[in-house]
Amino acid sequence: MAKRAKPAKIVIRALEPEDAEGLARLQRMPGYRFGTLRPPHPTTASVRKFLEAPTPDDLHLGAFIDGRLVASAGLHRSTGRRRHVAAFGIGVADDVRRQGIGGALTEAVIDAADNWLDIKRIELTVFHDNEEAIRLYEKHGFVREGAMRSYAFREGSYVDVIAMARLKGS
């Protein structure tokens, strides 16, 4: 197994509208997009619009190295009787994977969920062939709950996902 490179200091903070260009750049990366449900070719304008209209129950974080946005994560809280639940998504720049950035960002989201937002359950779906992400999630307490067949269309075919969740205190 190749040794992980140690990145420079990672700064994690809320994403701002001024980060739209960096986030759009991330979303255009083939590896980043491959692990998400995002379509190709996002515009900076569409990303800016998204960042300018956050909901009070959503958390959008970015990981920065030397001022460059290298990863993003979102936590989207449910409503009503599922208010204790939030959906989690994350992506890391293609050129800085395996450096602990995804883990640091995941830990920041979990800390916010557990200690500030009173979220009991964090849910996610992950493509069945994204073994690196599955290992990251399991390392942070997520467990597999099931599979969903033909969940999404990716690169010309339908692919399955694994449903995972983490319960606070479990």
Range of the structural domain that residue 46 is part of: 10-124
53 in a domain, yes or no?
yes
Q: Is 107 in a helix, a strand, or coil? A: helix
93 in a domain, yes or no?
yes
> What is the torsion angle, in degrees rounded to the nearest 10, for the CA atoms of residue 23, residue 7, residue 113 and residue 60?
-10
Residue 10 near residue 104 (C-beta atoms within 8 A) = yes
Model-level pTM greater than 0.75? yes
User: In a structure prediction context, what are the per-residue pLDDT tens digits for the chain, which is 170 residues long?
Assistant: 445 555 569 999 999 999 999 999 999 999 888 888 888 888 999 999 999 998 888 999 999 999 999 999 999 999 999 999 999 999 999 888 888 999 999 999 999 999 999 999 999 999 999 999 999 999 999 999 999 999 999 989 999 999 999 999 87
- Interaxial angle between packed helices 101-115 and 131-139, expressed in degrees from 0 to 180 and rounded to the nearest 10: 40
170 in a domain, yes or no?
no
CATH of the domain at 87: 3.40.630.30
Cα–Cα distance measured from residue 62 to residue 54, given in angstroms and rounded to the nearest whole number: 14
**Kind of pairing, strands 85-92 and 121-127?**
parallel
1 in a domain, yes or no?
no
Angle subtended at Cα 91 by Cα 90 and Cα 94, rounded to the nearest 5 degrees: 165
